[in-house]
Amino acid sequence: MKLRTLVWRELFERKSQMLTCFLAILLGITTVVAIKNVTHYSEMAVAREMDSLGANVLVLPKSATLQDYYSADMQEDTIPEEYVMRLTMSDIQGVDNLSPKLCVPVDLEGKQFALTGILPKSEFQAKAAWGGAGIFSRPIGCGAIDTGVDSKPEDKSTLVRKRVIKDLGSHEILVGPDVATFLDLKEGDSLTLLGEPFSVVAVLPETGTIDDSRIFAHLHTVQRLSGKGAVVNCIEIVGCCEEISAGLVGNVNKLLPDAKVVTVRQVVATQQNVNHMMGRLSVIFLAIIVIVGGAGIANYMYANVFERRREIGTLMALGAESGLVLRIFLLKAALLGLVGGIGGFVIGTTLAVTLGPKLAGVPVLPMPMLALWAVGISAGITLVASYFPARRAARLDPVATFQEV
């Protein structure tokens, strides 16, 4: 006879009660695990979608305003291109993407367009990697994790979404749809700009923004042709919204004291709102499970103590101390919690992986970390909910074993 024999045998003595209590724990944990799992991947999907909202932090010259940026950053003032390297070589957390830009007006067939110089990511990323440090030496993507699903191969048109292009030749251009329509351009055509020929490598999709009237070329080519030297009008930063809250803007300001660092508040607020809503939804479900599940378990345990008071009294008459009685009930609670947690994790994960993609429209993968979380929550709820009934059992008057007092 061991303590676990006593607990194990009793569990199966009152099967229907035990099963009811166990099912309550199992279903509760299953629900929370499934919701957390689907929510996690939905958040990641939303985070990826949020990239399309564009940059959320801008580095501008001191004199420039946000209005200048939205009117195609044609302001005269510039900042050194060297700021890009400072940023990439820094250890600032939360920078997902960088895009330095220099805009100069160009006249084409009587209409003015913005020739925008951009720096392909491969150039500053390679320099940072060569330096062995910097923001791109760490994984980035605002926590957007690899779902194991192949993303679409990157083409030049991703510039519109990601604000960054991986490679761009010195005489290659990407044209906005307004430019393409006006000049009747298509992929493979050539165009002369500021006296030099360029080949159109892509016509960008329509965005409804000023970008539709831009012509994108290599930054260094635009710098040379405009004669402005190694400068840019602005650096667009796609920052992770959590890090923006945690002081990303302040850190960039410290790094670049001679520039103006502004947050595009609407973008950040939208990102944060969506994430907070998802987080709150998860917390609400968890709170419901904790309250309903905990109350159910406490009720079951109180009933169990009441039914077993004669047995408890007998054990006490035979010499059981209060600590042992407490342990009998808490071990039972821990067992129910442990098995309920493991079972809830397995079923919840299975439901999330199979039904999640259909319900939420996002690929969902198992999250092993949730197993620890599920068992911890499950055992925690059962132990806390059982503590007071167990204490009542431990304090029972052994005289209750006798019918006649």
Contact between 10 and other proteins (CB under 8 A)?
Answer: yes
Judged by CB under 8 A, the residue of 67, 151, 192, 403 near other proteins is 403
Is 9 one of the binding residues for other proteins (CB under 8 A)? yes
Rg over alpha carbons for the chain, rounded to the nearest Å, is 32
Q: Does the protein bind other proteins through residue 5 (CB under 8 A)?
A: yes
Distance CA 252, CA 247 (A): 9
Task: Determine the residue type at 53.
Answer: L
Q: What angle do CA 45, 122, 149 make, to 5 degrees?
A: 30
Task: Examine residue 19 and tell whether it contacts other proteins (CB under 8 A).
Answer: no
Q: How far apart are CA 10 and CA 4, in angstroms?
A: 10
Asked whether position 13 contacts other proteins by CB under 8 A, the answer is yes
- For the chain, the residue count is 405
Sheet containing 234-239: which strands, arranged edge to edge?
190-193, 196-203, 172-175, 214-218, 111-118, 95-108, 234-239, 57-61, 259-263
What's the min distance (Å) between Cβ of 397 and other proteins? 8
Please choose, from the candidates 113, 24, 54, the residue with its C-alpha nearest in 3D space to the C-alpha of residue 271.
54
Q: Which is nearer to other proteins, 115 or 312 (CB)?
A: 312
| CB closer to other proteins out of 3 and 288 | 3
- Contact between 139 and other proteins by CB under 8 A: the answer reads no
- Report the alpha-carbon distance of residue 118 to residue 101 in Å, rounded: 5
| Near other proteins by CB under 8 A: residue from 323, 358, 361, 368 | 323
The binder of other proteins chosen from 2, 148, 152, 195 (CB under 8 A): 2
- Interaction between residue 303 and other proteins (CB under 8 A): no
316 binds other proteins (CB under 8 A): yes
User: How many Å apart are CA 382 and CA 110, to the nearest integer?
Assistant: 77
Contacts of other proteins in 154-173 (CB under 8 A): none
Among 6, 210, 255, 290, binds other proteins (CB under 8 A): 6
Does 405 interact with other proteins (rule: CB under 8 A)?
yes
Regarding 91 and contact with other proteins (CB under 8 A), the answer is no
Residues in 324-363 at the binding interface with other proteins, rule: CB under 8 A:
324
Instruction: Tell me which residues in 383-402 interact with other proteins (CB under 8 A).
Output: 398-399, 401-402
Kindly tell me which of 13 and 187 has the beta carbon lying closer to other proteins: 13
For residue 221, how far is the Cα from the chain centroid? 37
Stretch binding other proteins (CB under 8 A), from 4-12, 67-75, 99-107, 189-197: 4-12
Give DSSP secondary structure letters for 98-161.
EEEEEEEEEEETTEEEEEEEE--HHHHHHHHHHHT-SGGGS--STT----SSPPPPP-GGGHHH
Considering only residues 168 to 207 of the shown chain, the ones binding other proteins according to CB under 8 A are none
How big is the site for other proteins, counted in residues (CB under 8 A)?
30
* Shortest distance, position 9 Cβ to other proteins, whole Å: 5
Cβ within 8 Å of residue 306, ≥6 positions away: none
Residue 373, C-beta contacts closer than 8 angstroms, at least 6 positions apart: 36
Q: In this chain, which of 315, 331, 333, 375 binds other proteins, going by CB under 8 A? A: 315
In terms of CB distance, is 206 or 311 closer to other proteins? 311
- Candidates 145, 320, 347, 360; binder of other proteins (CB under 8 A) is 320
Identify the burial level of 130 via C-beta atoms within 10 angstroms of its C-beta, where 0-12 means exposed, 13-18 middle and 19 or more buried: exposed
Residues 283, 291, 292, 317: which binds other proteins (CB under 8 A)? 317
Helices (H) and strands (E) in the chain, counts: 14, 11
Residues that bind other proteins (CB under 8 A): 1-3, 5-6, 9-10, 12-13, 310-311, 313-324, 398-399, 401-405
